[in-house]
Each structure stands twice: as structure tokens, then as C-alpha cells.
Structure 1
Amino acid sequence: MAVDIVHWNPRKPRIRGPLGWLLPKYPPVNNFGDLLGPPIVREMLRRRGLDYEKASSEGRLVAVGSIMRMARDGDVVWGTGVNGKSTALPHEFSNLDVRAVRGPLTAQFLRDRGIDVPDVYGDPGLLVGWLWPRESFDGTMKRRALTVIPNLHDVDRYKDHPGFWHPCSPLSQTIARIATSDFVVGSSLHAVVLADSFGIGSRLIRSAHEPPFKYEDYYRGTGRASFKMASDVDEALAMGGEELPGWSPDELVRAFPWDLWSLTEPNRNLW
């Protein structure tokens, strides 16, 4: 038996209309923030000596990303958030097993729909710096003073900047690029999340395409309701880094659905 780790990585049709779904499609989007869920879950299990392929029951785990709309009845939710672009759209669930969510805005969204949500907040991307310490990336890439990672839909605005890094670059390379940077800016939420996980200064730039909902959700979930967005790279540099989160991984780790792999009492010394 196996647990399906739900994540967003579609292959879009090359032409519109019904025929587009029959013809060969574009390669998967591979937006790095949406690919983080499976490797984080697998590494969490590996550290406890558990095999991802040997779950105690079949099911779906919705983890990492603004993908709450992909949830179905009976799914387990761990650290997922709502996308501000979908708050007015139908969400096809009425019964979720919520262990943690990204932040209080997502929590309230679910509670308004009758879903029980614990007060456990945090994007699992924050665990990257604990699972793969920054020091482990020394020598993997040239150290950079600045990395600019925009949201997928903001790429054209920043692609000519000398510090630009494409959010659809290979996941391992993107993590290494962030880990070997001194300062990270951009409208990619997970660029900021991973910078926070490594203790690297970062500044969020306002997206031209993404509502502020998911950013506010994340920052409030890490105790930083007074965060400020920059309007562009120059302003981000002038503002300097946002306050690092006063956040511990303990609650999020304890909230991990270990029971899906038959472990009811996780070792507190996971790290």
C-alpha cells in the first residue's frame, strides 16, 4: 500500500479545446515550490527508519503548496494552504483530516466550512533547512550575494536581472542556489520559505499576478503579521531582510501523519 502525496505539477495542452487533451502535451510545469512535498515527506520517513512504499493504509496526503482546492473528502492535510485566487471557487470536500495548515487565513477558510483545524501552523518547506542543513551545500554552487526568484507568473518581469533564477529550474539546484545565497528576494513564496528555513535574509516582492492571501497566511503563521512587501528588487535591497521567523519545527513535526506509516509516537529527537 502507498500514500499519494498530492502536489500540483500539470502538463498543459499545446492547443486549446478538446483536441488539446488528446495530443502530446507540454512537459510538466516543474515549479520548484510545488515539488517540495514528496521529497520532504520521504526524508521525514527515512529519518525514522520508515519506508514510504510501506504505508499502513492507502490514502492521500495534501502537503506543501497552495493546493487546498485539490483536496478530497478523507484526505490528510499537513501544512497546505489556500490559494487567494481560489477562495471564491468551489472546494469539493466536507470532511478532511487536518493535522496542520500553512497559516491562520487557511485555518479560518476551512473552519468557515465546518472543518476542524488545530492551531498548528507552518509551511513544511520550513523544514528543508533542518532536513538538509545549509552547510551541506557548501561547494555545490558558487556563493551568490543575491538571488532573485519570481513567482512562476512573474518570470518575464525579472528574467533579465543578473541575479535571476528561474523557479522551474531543477528542484535540487534551486534548493542549492538558495542555500548558497546571501540574500533572496522575489515573489516566489517558497523562495522566501526556503530562505527562512536556512536562516538567510529575504524580502518578498509584491506579485503582479498573485493575490496577497498566501503570503499573508505564511507570514502570520510564522508570527510576522507586520511583514512588508517591496515593489521591486531595488526597493527589496533597500529594505533589507524581513525579520526571521520565531518558529520551531517541533509542532509541525509532531503533527506529521506518522500514523499513515504505523508510527503513533514519533521520536522527539528526530533531528
Structure 2
Amino acid sequence: MILDYNHIDLYYWRPQHTLAQNFGDHLSKMIVARILSQREFSLEEETPHAHKMFAIGSIMQLAKDDETIWGSGVNGCYKPEDHTFKRLDVRAVRGRLSAEYLRARGIQVPEVYGDPALLLPYIFPTKFKRESKRKYAVIPHHTEEKMLAQQKVQNVISPMGSWNKIISQILEADFVISSSLHGIIVAEAYGIPSRYLRISNNQDLFKYNDYMSGTGRGEIEFATSVEQALEMGGQAPIVEFDHTKLLNAFPWDLWTK
């Protein structure tokens, strides 16, 4: 939607040449909209000033000077020179690795960590419920969906679909095997054991390790097949995440000042 008045432009990644949404990226809009609705604000309303905001996603390379970051992370696939900003308004970042990257560039970063998708159980307290229907589910990164189909992997949940249906499907599994970062994050948000499945080199490990660092853990340990993931079981659970701190860091002032 193109708005011809001052508003807060929430940027999140969208696939080209299709109307389908990658659910992890689409969660950015749904989570921000939900939080705003609690104080009767919206993404479509006129605001005192036009501004751009980044929430979920490895999209830091797209930020420009003075734009607002709330929960985004650095994308390890991009070179330092691809990040052209000199100043950012950082309220929270996905993990400590992104924080270190920004601080090394002279940018102030508060000690507020975590992917906003971890807030799902707190901002949608009754919408989604766990219901055990299958022993495991496999969620591919959107670039690897065809690969799993060719391997005839069972219990696959496509990441390209409605965010609420995918979350409900994740909550039907006792164990989540995922190459989609947000497959892992959503599972862990609801206490479901997960394991990162690495079946290609399409994705740099930075974002996975960044997420792990933001939840008090070391580098991610991955499986290279569904069978190996089942043998390994779930990774170490979240050690630290303060949902109140992340919620309190939400940039309400963009809508009011």
C-alpha cells in the first residue's frame, strides 16, 4: 500500500514475482501491527513525521542514516561496504553479534536482544495453542523447498503461506527441524525443541549464530539430514530472553512525536 502522507514505513523482505509471503518476514508486519493495536495505533495512520523502521529480518544492509532498528539483524551474506549508514536509531537487535558489528562502526546499541518473533506468545496469548499431532515437522528455507520435495521428505511445512496457519502447524509438532530461522524461533517461542537443518550453503551461518547469541547460547549446532536431526534431538533451550525489555524498547515515539 502506497500512502501519500507522513507515516512509519515498516520495511520487511518480500519475495519478487509472487504474491506469496515468506512467513518469517511477514511476521514483522503482523507483530508490529499487533503491538500498535494495543494503544490504538496502526501502520496506516498519519504520523507527525515520515520515518522508516526495521523489525524482523536480516535486513540491516538496507538501512539508511537515522532509520530505526527494533530487533533486526545483520545479514552475513553482505560485505561491510554494503552497509552505507553512519548513524542508526537502534532500540534493539536480534543478537549480540549484530550489536558488536554495529558498535565497531561507532553506533550506539542498547543491551536489548531478541528476535521479535519470540514475542508471539505474549502478544497473541490465546490465538495459538500447542496440540500434538505429529512427532516432527520440517520447515525449509524458502530457497530450499524444492530440494526437500525432490528428496521426498515427509512432514514438510512450506514457509510460503499464511503466517497464522504456519504457526498453527508448527505448534502441532513435538519437534521442529528447520532451515528457516523463523521455523526455529517460532518453535522455541512456544517451548518446542528444534534443530537447525543445513542442507545447502544458501544461507550464511551469521544470522543463526546471531539469534543464538541473543538468547544466551553459543554457536548453533546443525544437522545435515532429517535423519541426523532426529538422532541429535533438540538444541539447548533458550537461556535468556527478556520479553518485557524487548517490548519496552518498541519505538512508540515514532507515532507520537
Q: Does 1:151 align with 2:145?
A: no
C-alpha separation between the residues in 1 aligned to 2:79 and 2:141? 19
C-alpha separation between the residues in 1 aligned to 2:162 and 2:128? 15
1:93 and 1:143, CA in 2 relative to 1: closer, same or farther beyond 3 A? same
- Asked whether the 8 Å contact 1:129–1:194 carries over to 2, the reply is no
Greater shift in the superposed pair: 88-97 or 216-225 = 88-97
Greater shift in the superposed pair: 50-59 or 204-213 = 50-59
Aligned with 2:243 (options 241, 249, 255): 249
What amino acid does structure 1 have at the position aligned with 2:106? G
1:54 and 1:196, CA in 2 relative to 1: closer, same or farther beyond 3 A? farther
* Structure 1 portions without partners, runs of 5+: 12-25, 264-271
In the TM superposition, residue 261 of structure 1 has moved relative to its aligned partner by 2.1
Alignment-derived partner of residue 165 in structure 2: 173
C-alpha separation between the residues in 2 aligned to 1:154 and 1:96? 33
Alignment-derived partner of residue 2 in structure 1: 7
What does the per-residue CA deviation read over 1:194-232, in whole Å, with 9 as the maximum and x for residues that have no partner?
Answer: 111111111111251111110000001100115421121
What amino acid does structure 2 have at the position aligned with 1:225? G
Q: Does 1:238 align with 2:231?
A: yes
Aligned CA-pair RMSD? 2.0
Counting matched residue pairs gives 247
Q: Does 1:210 align with 2:203?
A: yes
- Asked whether the 8 Å contact 1:186–1:233 carries over to 2, the reply is no
1:166 and 1:54, CA in 2 relative to 1: closer, same or farther beyond 3 A? same
- Asked whether the 8 Å contact 2:134–2:174 carries over to 1, the reply is yes
What does the per-residue CA deviation read over 1:122-157, in whole Å, with 9 as the maximum and x for residues that have no partner?
Answer: 010111122224x63359x88332110011222233
C-alpha separation between the residues in 1 aligned to 2:156 and 2:81? 33
In the TM superposition, residue 9 of structure 1 has moved relative to its aligned partner by 0.6
Greater shift in the superposed pair: 50-59 or 77-86 = 50-59
Alignment-derived partner of residue 18 in structure 1: none
What amino acid does structure 1 have at the position aligned with 2:147? R
What does the per-residue CA deviation read over 1:43-69, in whole Å, with 9 as the maximum and x for residues that have no partner?
Answer: 111123334425343201111000111
C-alpha separation between the residues in 2 aligned to 1:49 and 1:129? 20
C-alpha separation between the residues in 1 aligned to 2:178 and 2:102? 28
Alignment-derived partner of residue 62 in structure 2: 70
C-alpha separation between the residues in 1 aligned to 2:30 and 2:219? 31
What amino acid does structure 1 have at the position aligned with 2:11? V
- Asked whether the 8 Å contact 2:14–2:25 carries over to 1, the reply is yes
- Identity, in percent, stands at 40
Q: What is the DSSP-based 3-state SS (H/G/I as helix, E as strand, rest coil) of the residue aligned with 1:137?
A: coil
C-alpha separation between the residues in 1 aligned to 2:225 and 2:195? 10
* Structure 2 portions without partners, runs of 5+: 1-5
Alignment-derived partner of residue 32 in structure 1: 23
- Asked whether the 8 Å contact 1:32–1:169 carries over to 2, the reply is yes
- Asked whether the 8 Å contact 1:149–1:186 carries over to 2, the reply is yes
Structure 1 residues 45-84: aligned runs within 5 Å: 45-52=36-43, 53-84=45-76
Compute the TM-score of the two structures, normalised by the length of structure 1: 0.84
Q: Does 1:196 align with 2:201?
A: no
- Asked whether the 8 Å contact 2:132–2:174 carries over to 1, the reply is no
What amino acid does structure 2 have at the position aligned with 1:210? Q
Compute the TM-score of the two structures, normalised by the length of structure 2: 0.89
- Asked whether the 8 Å contact 1:147–1:165 carries over to 2, the reply is yes
C-alpha separation between the residues in 2 aligned to 1:73 and 1:144? 47
Structure 1 residues 2-151: aligned runs within 5 Å: 2-11=7-16, 26-28=17-19, 30-52=21-43, 53-133=45-125, 136-138=127-129, 143-151=133-141
In the TM superposition, residue 89 of structure 1 has moved relative to its aligned partner by 4.6
C-alpha separation between the residues in 2 aligned to 1:136 and 1:77? 27
What amino acid does structure 1 have at the position aligned with 2:34? E
